Structures are given as C-alpha cells and as structure tokens.
Amino acid sequence: MCLAVPGKIVGISRDPDDEVTGMIGTVDFQGSRLDVSLAMTPEVTVGNWVLVHAGFALTVLDEQAARETWQYIESADLGQMPKELRDLSAGAAEQD
C-alpha cells in the first residue's frame, strides 16, 4: 500500500472554481496515461516527474531518480502497480 509510482506530467488542467482539488495532471507512466490529482503538489508544472500513490501526486521527483525507480518497479514483483496502471489507463482511454 505504500507503493508509489513515478510518472511524468504531460498536461495540467485547472478548475478556476476549485482551488483545493481542481488541479488535475495527465501523467505518463512509461506509455500508460492516467489523470492524477495534483491537490498535494500545486507547485508542479508540465514536464515534472511526480511520485503517484492512489491517484494523487505526493511529491516532485528528480527525473533520473524517477527513471531508476520505474526500472526497479517494472523488474520487481512488488504487487500489481504497473499492470494496474496499464489497465486503468486502457480503461480510461476506452471511455474517451
């Protein structure tokens, strides 16, 4: 449950009427894309890498660290995260 996955922000949308929870990032996880809440990381910009847990970005990550972490997650057997993200991303794409 503590597992968090790095991804790169490729787009940001903001709801002008919702300052607290209205900032959403489209995050790319090695090809799978998911909308992630940026409620906890309002300082981010497009191009930043973020650590994502339960659909929320927790912190900005340095790109090098992010790539290394992703490599490890993919090679490791730490639960379903990459597959889950791919499934979620495919599901989201279907709905679009």
Partner 1 sequence: MEICGTHTVSLLRSGVKSLLGDVLRLISGPGCPVCVTSQGYIDAACELAARQEVTICTYGDMVRVPGSHGSLEQLKARGADVMVIYCPRDAVHYAAARSDRKVVFLAIGFETTAPATAAAIIEAERMGLENFHVLTAHKLVIPAVSALLSGGDVAIDGLLCPGHVSTVIGADAYRPVVDKWKMPCVIAGFEPLNMLVGIAELVEQAVTGRADVANVYGVAVSPAGNRVAQGLLSRVFAPAPAVWRAIGTIDDSGLELRPQYARFDARAELDVQIGPDHEPPGCMCGQVIQGKVAPSACSLFATACTPVKPVGPCMVSSEGTCAAWYKYGSSITKAQVGPQ
Note the residues at the interface with partner 1 (CB under 8 A). Answer: 1-4, 18, 20-21, 37, 39-42, 51, 53-56, 58-59, 61-62, 65, 68-69, 72, 76-80, 84, 88
Least CB distance to partner 1 at residue 16 (A):
13
DSSP 3-state assignment of 30?
A: coil
CA–CA separation, 52 and 31 (whole Å): 15
Query: Where does residue 25 rank: exposed (0-12), middle (13-18), buried (19+ CB within 10 A)?
Result: buried
Query: Which residue number, 11 or 42, has a Cβ lying nearer to partner 1?
Result: 42
93 CB-contact burial (10 Å; exposed 0-12 / middle 13-18 / buried 19+): exposed
Nearer to partner 1, 12 or 39 (CB): 39
| Least Cβ distance, residue 36 to partner 1 (angstroms) | 8
Q: Which is nearer to partner 1, 11 or 63 (CB)?
A: 63
